């Protein structure tokens, strides 16, 4: 099996896709079901420091749920697969879907430049909005640097000093523009949350509405995703998987209330296992937009030497031992999430854990990610 590796943000993996499965390991026993495999991985993740893990495996209409550990560490409440959690960079697929819908409606083209919709927003000696397209934002080939790695954002966000601080998207973009490009527009993929802050700004420029409103009206309501939200306030609503920051053997620190303004269109959304699986299936099966836009969604920029893996528009394609799968994962303060879905959306795995301290690649993360891959191949 090939490794599943997604570009990091540099020194810190704040909102990036964090799933990484290292060199090939022995496949799970053929006698184990997908749910049994995922459950065992969840338990290993808890043994290695996650407070709790929840997961879902779905094969057509058949769905099974798994859980391990605690959803509320200090109240000793078991992790519940029906609770809500922050989905981090999985937000990006929702934003990409809205822009694909707008293209289908002929209200914009993905090949429009940033200056078409956001004149002079990206205009410095090193950065030129007239050379960057909307498509390059969505597949991370814009060359724009990462704002979350700047201490002005990173320190405040990581320490959770002010969950209610209001960050304007333009303010975050300006912070990113203080740094050098990662490459020329279109040259190569480089994962950056700055791209999706700008994508959200494009949505607002085209529609006159905030990206959270457009996501609700275009996707959440039509699909009946009643437990999914795009919050602009950090306070959790309803039943929640509590989120934690944990390093070494120290007790976990509750960071369930964290700053959503710093993540915005790049990673602020909240969902459940069921809702996220429902959205992925609709996204990849063509339920949300016409065939030309579905083809654009799945048109990848290669990120592996053999071209088997790549970045689409808000999604990634990865090669597993049982063939290609679409996936994305997300990490925000207190939460990590990973999903895998077949091309037609019939086979799915979704898993979430309630701890993240902004440094990826921990053994607990590896165990859960490997179990997700093995469970997917057992479907």
Please give the positions annotated as active site.
89
Q: Are 79 and 242 in contact (CB under 8 A)?
A: no
101 CB-side CA count, 13 A: 18
Over the range 319-338, which residues count as b (16 or more CB within 10 Å of their CB) and which as e? bbebeebbbbbbbbbbbbbb
64 contacts: CB under 8 Å, gap ≥ 6: 33, 34, 35, 56, 57, 58
Residue 356's closest CA among 253, 250, 235, 244?
244
Angle between helices 91-104 and 273-285 (to 10 degrees): 30
* Alpha-carbon span 292 to 90, nearest angstrom: 22
DSSP helix/strand/coil, 142? coil
Three-point CA angle 158, 353, 25, nearest 5°: 110
Report the run of H or E that residue 276 belongs to, with start and end: helix 273-285
* Alpha-carbon span 103 to 94, nearest angstrom: 14
Intra-chain end-to-end CA distance of the chain, in Å: 16
191 contacts: CB under 8 Å, gap ≥ 6: 6, 7, 8, 9, 16, 17, 140, 146
């Amino acid at each position: 099996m090939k490794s599943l590796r997604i570009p990091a943000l540099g020194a810190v993996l704040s909102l990036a896709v964090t799933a990484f499965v290292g060199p090939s390991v022995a496949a799970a026993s053929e006698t184990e079901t997908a749910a049994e495999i995922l459950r065992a991985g969840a338990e290993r993740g808890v043994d290695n420091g996650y407070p709790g893990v929840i997961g879902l495996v779905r094969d057509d209409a058949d769905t099974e749920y798994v859980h391990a550990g605690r959803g509320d560490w200090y109240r000793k409440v078991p992790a519940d697969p029906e609770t809500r959690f922050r989905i981090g960079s999985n937000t990006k697929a929702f934003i990409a879907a809205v822009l694909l819908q707008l293209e289908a409606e002929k209200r914009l083209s993905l090949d429009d430049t940033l200056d078409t919709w956001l004149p002079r927003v990206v205009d410095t000696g090193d950065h030129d909005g007239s050379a960057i397209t909307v498509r390059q934002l969505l597949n991370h080939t814009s060359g724009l640097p990462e704002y979350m790695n700047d201490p002005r954002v990173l320190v405040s966000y990581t320490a959770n000093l002010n969950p209610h601080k209001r960050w304007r998207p333009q303010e975050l973009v300006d912070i990113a523009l203080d740094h050098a490009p990662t490459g020329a527009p279109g040259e190569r993929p480089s994962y950056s949350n700055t791209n999706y802050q700008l994508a959200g700004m494009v949505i607002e420029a085209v529609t006159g509405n905030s990206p959270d409103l457009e996501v609700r009206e275009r996707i959440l309501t039509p699909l009946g995703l009643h437990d999914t939200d795009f919050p602009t306030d950090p306070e959790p609503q309803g039943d929640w998987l509590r989120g934690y920051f944990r390093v070494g053997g120290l007790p976990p620190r509750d960071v369930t209330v964290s700053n959503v303004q710093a993540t915005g269109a790049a990673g602020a959304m909240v969902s459940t296992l069921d809702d996220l699986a429902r959205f992925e299936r609709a996204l990849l099966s063509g339920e949300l937009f016409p065939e030309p836009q579905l083809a654009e969604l799945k048109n990848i920029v290669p990120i592996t030497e053999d071209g088997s893996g790549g970045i689409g528009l808000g999604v990634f394609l990865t090669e597993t031992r049982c063939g290609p799968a679409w996936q994305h994962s997300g990490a925000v303060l207190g939460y990590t999430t990973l999903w895998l879905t077949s091309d037609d959306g019939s086979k799915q795995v979704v898993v979430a854990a309630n701890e993240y301290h902004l440094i990826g690649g921990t053994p607990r993360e590896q165990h859960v990610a490997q179990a997700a891959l093995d469970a997917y191949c057992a479907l």
